[in-house]
Amino acid sequence: MKLSQLLNGVKVENNYNDVEISDVTSDSREVKNGDLFVCIKGASFDGHDVAQEMLDKGASAVVVERDLGIENQIIVDDTRKAYSPICANYFGNPANELKLIGLTGTNGKTTTTFLIKQILENVGKKVGLIGTVQNMVCDEVYPAHYTTPDPHELQSMFRKMVDAHCEYCVMEVSSQALAQGRVEGLHFLLGAFTNLTQDHLDYHKTWENYFLSKRILFENCDIAVTNLDDRSGLEIVKNLPCKVVTYSVDNNSADYTAKNVVFSSKGVQYELVCDEISRVNCPIPGRFSVYNSLCAGVCALALGVDFNDVIGAISNCNGVKGRIEVVPTDTDYTVIIDYAHSPDGLENIISSLKEIAQGRVVTVFGCGGDRDRTKRPKMGAIAAKLSDFCVVTSDNPRSENPSKIIDDILEGMKDTKTPYEVVENRKDAIKWALENAKKNDIILLAGKGHETYQILPTGRIHFDEREVIKEALEEINK
Ligand SMILES: Nc1ncnc2c1ncn2[C@@H]1O[C@H](COP(=O)(O)OP(=O)(O)O)[C@@H](O)[C@H]1O
Ligand SMILES: [Mg+2]
């Protein structure tokens, strides 16, 4: 492909030779002969530092943000933002042939995208999915490395979706992705907002930045579906030209309201009220299942799916791996795996399990290393306040000393009367929790969710909690 074709729609500030390009990358390790290398400045590495090296390695040209005084450079204002349309051009702008649905918010994105996919498929649509757990082209699964992949991977997934005749792509749009221009140039038919609470503040630094980055999605969509019960719900779509559709639990001024909610360990039930009313029976337990299924249902309704089809699809939906996932065991207590790893996520999951628990709620949790440290005592305080017992352990300590992270967590637990146990090794912690479980307890393993690894100071190890539970139970029952 000609360089000029790749740069279609990108404002270039200098003259360049219109050479032939074989592929595009921003990863210096991937550069091959004939490639276009896009220099991006990251937190620990700046692609500009290796621009000449990449040309020596065979790259045909480099995209830069400042004049490096080298041959075959393309100068643009912002390389991160340019990378998205360049990749779109490379893959033939597949997103133009897809109806994009983007989900943003602190919690509930993954669950809600899966639900939307299932509702649309229920009425015969072909749907692709982009998100934290996995990427999908109809039923075909591709591994996901980030919640929202980098533009090259994202556009290549779009290409696969178009080739498979998908009509829709439902995707999680993280605030990082929005802030970094990973979805620059994409237009969404529908954008949906779940909620906004403290998370990723280590990356965005301020609440204002975090809020503004989420808003970018709604500046680029036709229909905005938003949560009236969240204090940022209306703010995030304020003064934007898109059509706004609201949902709420109990607030009649919303376009769609969930009423008379009933919780059980089998799921949630509520009346979906608009100009029609019908009872929804969502088989995923927990209070936020009301919000996630409501949001998904409203998105589908806003896209024109028939009311009764939406109600039927929610009632028949499957759960999502690692999202309030009940692990089958032959025990008189219940084991649940959930991805909650923020103060807010933990608060939501524990309090909603308390609502359905007949025995104790025992929370096994830790906090990630090399991430926002202020979360640790907060998570400790919340877990201790809401649970009947806590097992404090490790959750991806990364380069940090696990016992130091645990100390930070315990700082938030020092004023509580809730009994707890510290077991640094997560596998041992899970075994300890199962060994000490009582009849009717809910043992919540919080933090890992769908992940099947643990990142230790010594590197990444395989760690699948379903396997850990199975092994522990075998040992206990020996
Ligand atoms: N609507 C919600 N409100 C609050 N917490 C939620 C909601 N949905 C899910 N959660 C909690 O957050 C965790 C992450 O849910 P997920 O669907 O993966 O969201 P995301 O993709 O936004 O991280 C879940 O495991 C659950 O504990
Ligand atoms: Mg997610």
267 Cα to the center of ligand 1, angstroms? 16
Hey, which bits of 65-199 come out as E strands? 73-75, 99-104, 127-130, 134-137, 140-143, 168-172, 188-193
Which of 409, 410, 365 has the alpha carbon at shortest distance from 387?
365
Q: What is the pLDDT of residue 201?
A: 58
Distance CA 346, CA 392 (A): 13
Q: Tell me what pLDDT residue 264 has.
A: 78
Per-residue pLDDT in tens (0 to 9) along the chain, 478 residues: 999 999 999 999 999 999 999 999 999 999 999 999 999 998 889 999 999 999 999 999 999 999 999 999 999 999 999 999 999 999 999 999 999 999 999 889 999 999 999 999 999 999 999 999 999 999 999 999 888 999 999 999 999 999 999 999 999 999 889 988 899 999 999 999 999 886 555 666 677 888 888 899 999 999 999 999 999 999 999 999 999 999 999 999 999 999 999 987 778 999 999 999 999 999 888 888 999 999 999 999 999 999 999 999 999 998 888 998 888 899 999 999 999 999 988 999 999 899 889 899 999 999 999 999 999 999 999 999 999 999 999 999 999 999 999 999 999 999 999 999 999 999 999 999 999 999 999 999 999 999 999 999 999 999 999 999 999 999 999 9
Query: For ligand 1, is residue 108 a contact (CB within 6 Å)?
Result: yes
The amino acid sitting at 355 is: E
Give nearest CA residue, ligand 1 atom 18: 110
Work out which ligand 1 atom sits closest to the CA atom of 194.
Answer: 1
User: 3-state class of 134 per DSSP?
Assistant: strand
Round to whole Å and give the CA distance between 292 and 315: 13
The residue whose CB lies within 8 Å of the most ligand 1 atoms, and thus the one to mutate among 114, 174, 339, 342, is 339
Centroid of chain to Cα 182: 14
Residue 387: predicted pLDDT: 98
DSSP string, 415-429: T--S-EEE-SSHHHH
Q: Which ligand neighbours the alpha carbon of 196 most closely? A: 1
Q: Following DSSP, what letter does each residue of 29-98 receive, concatenated?
A: GG--TTPEEE--B-SS-BGGGGHHHHHHHT-SEEEESS----TTEEE-S-HHHHHHHHHHHHTT-GGGGS
Q: Is the minimum distance from the CB of 195 to ligand 1 under 6 angstroms?
A: yes
60 lines ligand 1 (CB under 6 A): no
Which of these, 312, 334, 317, 315, lies nearest to 325 by C-alpha position? 334
* pLDDT (0 to 100) of residue 197: 82
134 Cα–ligand 2 center, Å: 10
**Hey, what are 3's tokens?**
């360089």
Give residue 99 CA to ligand 1 midpoint distance, Å: 24
Q: List the shell of residues around ion ligand 2, using CB closer than 5 Å.
A: 109-110, 132, 147
Q: Whose CA is nearest to atom 4 of ligand 1?
A: 107
**325 Cβ closer than 6 Å to some ligand 1 atom:** no
338 touches ligand 1 (CB under 6 Å): yes
Residue 203: what pLDDT?
A: 62
Q: Are 168 and 129 in contact (CB under 8 A)?
A: no
Ligand 1 atom nearest the C-alpha of 111 is 17
Q: Is the CB of 342 under 6 A from ligand 1?
A: no
Q: Which of 288, 346, 387 to mutate to test the pocket of ligand 1 (most atoms within 8 A of CB)?
A: 288
Which residues have a Cβ under 8 Å from the Cβ of 112 and sit 6 or more positions away?
103, 192, 194, 292, 295, 296, 299
